[in-house]
Amino acid sequence: MVQITLPDGSQRQFDGPVTVAEVAQSIGSGLAKAALGGKLGNRLVDTSYTITADTPLSIITAKDPDGLEMIRHSTAHLLAYAVKELFPDAQVTIGPVIENGFYYDFSYKRPFTPEDLVAIEQKMTELAAKDEPVVRRVLPRDAAVEYFKGMGEAYKAELIASIPTNEDVSLYREGAFEDLCRGPHVPSTGKLKHFKLMKVAGAYWRGDHRNEMLQRIYGTAWASKEDLKQYLTMLEEAEKRDHRKLGKELDLFHIDEHSPGTVFWHPKGWTLWQEVEQYMRRVYRDNGYQEVKGPQLLDKTLWEKTGHWDKYRENMFITESEKRDYALKPMNCPGHIMIFKQGVKSYRDLPLRYGEFGACHRNEPTGGLHGIMRVRAFTQDDGHIFCTEDQILPECTAYTALLQKVYKDFGFTDIIYKVATRPEQRIGSDESWDKAEHALMESLRASRCDFEISPGEGAFYGPKVEYTLKDAIGRQWQCGTIQVDFSMAERLDAEYVGEDGARHRPVMLHRAIVGSLERFIGILIEEHAGALPVWLAPVQVVVTGITDAQADYVQSVAKTLRNQGLRVETDLRNEKITYKIREHSLQKLPYILVVGDKEKEAGAVAVRARGNQDLGVMSLDAFAKRIAQDIASKA
């Protein structure tokens, strides 16, 4: 007798061993048809898996996140099947699931072309339509090695040979194709209907540049036609918003091979940077932060004390001078503790809030660099709050409210909150962890924020809240964080004098709102598709005349507006006005002011707003009031 407990608590009994598919059929034919797999506790299995003992069971369908992952995993195998059908000499290597899709690496004698991708996708559709069963079998490791060697699949044989000799391996067959895989997989290829191959890229075998360069085919797969269409539409929109493309078109910045992973800011881009930085500087000032500045180079002995030398050295830029080793700082925390330690601190000084626009360097791999979103040199709006344990809750509550206001000013109101709790390997007492986790959760409740728990995802020194932005096209960007640290003050011997006259260790709250300014500016560019709000726009107004006869008035208007603190350019070129309007519109400028003889005589301007809006003629004072309201409201 086998007893199955379903998610709703109901139970079903079977006379003997039963498969997941049979359990689904006993519930209903509709569920049996939709079933992709099963979940026994936390273990995913195929629908063909035989259950021999009492167990809880969930039937997995395409509506479940696990089901979507199974679809993507199985579609990767379908891709390899199609490639082998079309290109029998190709060797298959590995094909995992990734965010929003999958990839598979192949070794082949020539590069795959765009036409090949079209043919491969068509073959995948044909194979899926056959609805061939996906069947699992198990072989001893050595037998599996010989099996794939006999097929000429040297890469698969090498992978299996790295598995311990006493282990068995599982293989999955669909039609004429069989592949090494742990599984689970969908029951048949007919479950795979909504997929698209995206691109081909290079990838080294096993990620080692000393090995052969393989060809990686990327694809995406979804549970429904609508989901696939929505994703492809989002990708099209994301391509239009790509900050690298807009950065070039709007003359904001460029990346150069002479300094990979760093940014060359052009005048307009640096103006945008300064607006973000100066805004955050006002946030510091208005919320009790003291701005500090730490050195770029710090002796390795300091990094040894913090633990970074052992755990993070490969990501640090190291240099040597006079037989001493130094590192360019990858983060600002140790420097802030060194500042805190100067002079005696009392409990009356706490909470003590330091903020820094700290330039950091991290030796990111070349393949991971991405425009200004992922760089090697970046500046953080880094802050550290030194406080007592009793001050953790009020400080975290105030911080969440502050972060929400900042994000709203930048145009983000959809925020996802996650609390990452204690990992297995950690330091500090359970009592201190209880207090820190409680404070973080209570701070979010006080701010009326729904939040998720990420069990075990906290840092070894303390829990944290991660604040993730959702942008205009649904993408998520993790930017802000606040982390509770009981460790670093101890490691670097920071202390304060308590009310009892004794020495105590402060709690250190690590916090960042926008995080890397480079990355945040990239997010802003993509969020607004380059059409930045008036208060952030590098050029807020351009003034242009219809003919040379208005040149003096154009300059006068521009000077008046500049004196009011606006960022204004003039266009006195001998070009048709329609040409100039079109060109400035492509630059996504908030306002274009056109003046002819009538406007000059009346002391007025003809106003065109972004989006091809003709606002008509208004006095210069009226326009100045309008744009001032835009800036004040962060419109």
Q: Does residue 555 carry a catalytic annotation?
A: no
Question: Which residue is catalytic, options 91, 380, 540, 587?
Answer: 380
Q: Does residue 438 carry a catalytic annotation?
A: no
β-bridge mates for residue 203, sequence order: 214
DSSP tag of 24: H
Q: By C-alpha distance, which of 86, 125, 83 is closest to 216?
A: 83
User: Parallel, antiparallel, or unpaired: how do β-strands 18-19 and 50-51 relate?
Assistant: antiparallel
Q: Which long-range contacts (CB under 8 A, 24 or more apart) does 261-265 make?
A: 261/364, 261/366, 261/369, 261/374, 261/375, 261/376, 261/377, 262/375, 262/376, 262/377, 263/372, 263/375, 263/377, 263/518
The answer, yes or no, to whether the previous bond of 351 is cis (omega within 30 of 0) is yes
CB atoms within 10 A of CB 441: 20
Q: Does residue 380 carry a catalytic annotation?
A: yes
Tokens of 338: 């060194």
Q: Are 471 and 477 in contact (CB under 8 A)?
A: yes
Question: Which residue is catalytic, options 123, 464, 580, 608?
Answer: 464
Residues 6+ apart with CB under 8 A from 281: 291, 357
Q: What are phi and psi of 192, to 5 degrees?
A: -105, 105
Sheet containing 297-299: order of strands = 297-299, 324-328, 318-321
Distance CA 425, CA 113 (A): 48
Distance CA 482, CA 463 (A): 9
Q: Does residue 510 carry a catalytic annotation?
A: yes
Q: What angle do CA 454, 459, 463 make, to 5 degrees?
A: 60
Q: Name the residue type at position 559.
A: K
- In whole angstroms, how far apart are CA 505 and each of 331, 346, 487? 21, 11, 9
Question: Which residue is catalytic, options 156, 193, 308, 384?
Answer: 384
Question: Which residue is catalytic, options 156, 191, 362, 422?
Answer: 362
Question: Which residue is catalytic, options 46, 105, 116, 382?
Answer: 382
The answer, yes or no, to whether the previous bond of 56 is cis (omega within 30 of 0) is no
Question: Which residue is catalytic, options 510, 511, 584, 608?
Answer: 510
Q: Does residue 382 carry a catalytic annotation?
A: yes
Buried b (16+ CB within 10 A) or exposed e, 221-246: bbbeeeebeebeeeeeeeeebbbbeb
Distance CA 570, CA 578 (A): 16
In the block, which residue shows the tokens 């009356």? 348
Q: Does residue 333 carry a catalytic annotation?
A: yes
Q: Name the residue type at position 81.
A: Y
Q: Name the residue type at position 166.
A: N
Q: By C-alpha distance, which of 518, 290, 284, 242 is closest to 386?
A: 290
- Neighbouring C-alpha atoms within 13 Å toward the C-beta of 264: 9
- In whole angstroms, how far apart are CA 178 and each of 88, 161, 183, 190, 437? 13, 17, 13, 17, 48
Tokens of 439: 């404070």
As annotated, the active-site residues are 333, 362, 380, 382, 384, 464, 510
